[in-house]
Amino acid sequence: MLLQMNGTEDEILLSGTIISGVSEPFEGYICIEGGTIKEIGYESIDAHWQGIICPSLINGHTHLGDSIIKDPPFAPLSELVGTNGLKNRTLAQATFQEQEGGMHSSLLDMAATGTCAFADFREDGQNGVKLLQNALRGVPLISRILGRPDPGSIDVHQDCWGIGISSTRDHPLQIVEDAVERARSNGLKVALHAGEAGRDDIQDALQLDPDFLVHLTKASHQDLKKVADAGIPVVICPRSNLITNVGLPPLANMLKLEINVGLGTDNVMLNSPNLFTEMELVSKAMLHNDRQVFNMCTLNNAKTLGIEDRVGSIEVGKESRIMVIDRRSNNMWGSSNALASVVRRARPSDILAVF
C-alpha cells in the first residue's frame, strides 16, 4: 500500500522494530507529520502501523528505457546492450508511447516495492529525458537523471542532474572529454560505466574525475586503490553482471579500501528494479554483513546521489520515505533478527505500507 503524505495531513504513528540505518535496530516508534519525521521514541506504543520500520530503498543505477523488453536470451554484453545489440534494435523500432509506457510501469513498480529514489542513465538525448520526465508524472519518486548528448552535440538536457556516459571506449575520447567539460561548466554531475567487461576503460574514466562510477567488475586492486584515493563512489549491479557473464565485482576489496559502494539493478530488460532481490544475492553470495548490504541500498546510495540530507536513514527532520514490513507474514513469521530478515528474506509482498 503506497501512502502519499502532504503538509495538511494529521500525524501518523509507526511502532515496531526500527532499522534506522545509523544505529543498531531498536524497539520504538516514529511520528511523521507533513511528510517529515517529527519524532523518534525508544519504546513501543499503540500506533497506526506496526511492524519492521525501515528507510525506503534507493536504486543507484537503472536503465529504464528498455522496460519494453524483458528477459532476453542469455548472451554476451555486446549482443545485449552494445551499439547493434538487442536493446538498441528494439528501441529503434518502438514508438515513443511504448517507451514511455514501459518506463512508467517500471517507475510504479519501484514506488510500490519500497524504492523511493533512483538514478537513471538516460539514453536518446533530449527526447529520452523528456520521455522519462513524462513517465514520472504522478509517481512519488526522487529522480537523478543522467542524460546523454544528442549526436553531434556535447550538451545534455537542461533538466538533467548530470551526464551519464556508457563507457569511454564507446566514443572518441575527445568527444567524451568535451561533453564532460561542458557538463561541469553547467554545474552537472558526471557518472560513467567502467570496468564492466574489461578494465581497458578504467584509467580514462578516472582521468575524467567522475562523481561516481558504475560496475568496476574487472577492476584490479591498483584500479580500486586509485578510486579510493580519489574518493569516488561506486555502484555495483551483481545480478546484471551474472546475466551478461562478466563476473562479480570485487566487493570485499572495495569495502576494505573504504570506497562508498551502492547497489543498482541496471537494465530493466535484464532485471526487475527490485532491490530486495539484489540485497539477498549480495548478502548470501558476496558479503555476509547484513548492515553493510542494507546501507548499500539506503544511505550509501543517498550519499552518492547527493540526497543524504533528505532520505536514506530514519532521522528527525528527514523526509518520511519509510516502509513498514509485516513481521507476521508467512515469509517473515518467526524472524528473530529483523535486519537479517529484511536483507536476506523480505519480498515486496511483505510490505504493509510505503510512505
What's the grid cell of residue 86? Answer: 538487442
1 lies in a domain?
no
Looking at the fold, whether 333 and 300 belong to one and the same domain comes out as: no
4 lies in a domain?
no
What's the number of domains the chain is made of? 2
DSSP secondary structure string for all residues of 237-306:
-HHHHHHTT-----HHHHHHTT--EEE--EETTTS-S-HHHHHHHHHHHT---HHHHHHHTTHHHHHHTT
**Is-contact 191 104, C-beta < 8 A?**
no
pLDDT: which is higher, 48 or 251: 251
Looking at the fold, whether 137 and 203 belong to one and the same domain comes out as: yes
The CATH number covering residue 46 comes to 2.30.40.10
For 53, phi then psi, to 5°, come to -105, 120
pLDDT score of 239 more than 60: yes
pLDDT: which is higher, 102 or 47: 102
Looking at the fold, whether 52 and 62 belong to one and the same domain comes out as: no
Looking at the fold, whether 275 and 257 belong to one and the same domain comes out as: yes
Residue 235: CB partners within 8 Å, gap ≥ 6? 60, 61, 119, 212, 213, 214, 215, 261, 262, 263, 264, 301, 304
Q: How confident is the model at residue 9, as a pLDDT?
A: 57
The CATH number covering residue 274 comes to 3.20.20.140
Looking at the fold, whether 79 and 205 belong to one and the same domain comes out as: yes
pLDDT score of 8 more than 70: no
pLDDT score of 257 more than 60: yes
pLDDT score of 148 more than 80: yes
For 228, phi then psi, to 5°, come to -65, -45
The band of 10, judged by pLDDT with boundaries at 50, 70 and 90, is confident
Q: How confident is the model at residue 49, as a pLDDT?
A: 85
Looking at the fold, whether 69 and 43 belong to one and the same domain comes out as: no
Where a domain ends, among 304, 323, 342?
A: 304
pLDDT score of 26 more than 60: yes
198 lies in a domain?
yes
2 lies in a domain?
no
Looking at the fold, whether 91 and 39 belong to one and the same domain comes out as: no
**Is-contact 215 227, C-beta < 8 A?**
no
**CA-CA distances (angstroms) from residue 332 to 112, 325, 349?**
19, 9, 11
Sign of CA dihedral 276, 59, 19, 216: positive
Looking at the fold, whether 149 and 18 belong to one and the same domain comes out as: no
> For 185-209, what is each residue's pLDDT tens digit?
999 999 999 999 999 999 999 999 9
Looking at the fold, whether 143 and 163 belong to one and the same domain comes out as: yes
94 lies in a domain?
yes
Cα(131)–Cα(104) distance, rounded to whole angstroms? 9
Structural domain that includes position 84: 57-304
Looking at the fold, whether 322 and 298 belong to one and the same domain comes out as: no
DSSP secondary structure string for all residues of 36-50:
EEEEEESS----SEE
5 lies in a domain?
no
**Is-contact 316 107, C-beta < 8 A?**
no
> For 316-353, what is each residue's pLDDT tens digit?
999 999 999 999 999 999 999 999 999 999 999 999 99
3 lies in a domain?
no
For 92, phi then psi, to 5°, come to -65, -25
7 lies in a domain?
no
> For 277-288, what is each residue's pLDDT tens digit?
999 999 999 999
Where a domain ends, among 286, 304, 322?
A: 304
Looking at the fold, whether 140 and 231 belong to one and the same domain comes out as: yes
Where a domain ends, among 284, 304, 324?
A: 304
Q: How confident is the model at residue 83, as a pLDDT?
A: 82
Looking at the fold, whether 298 and 172 belong to one and the same domain comes out as: yes
The rounded percent of the chain whose pLDDT value lies above 90 is 91
> For 57-97, what is each residue's pLDDT tens digit?
999 999 999 999 999 999 999 999 988 899 999 999 999 99
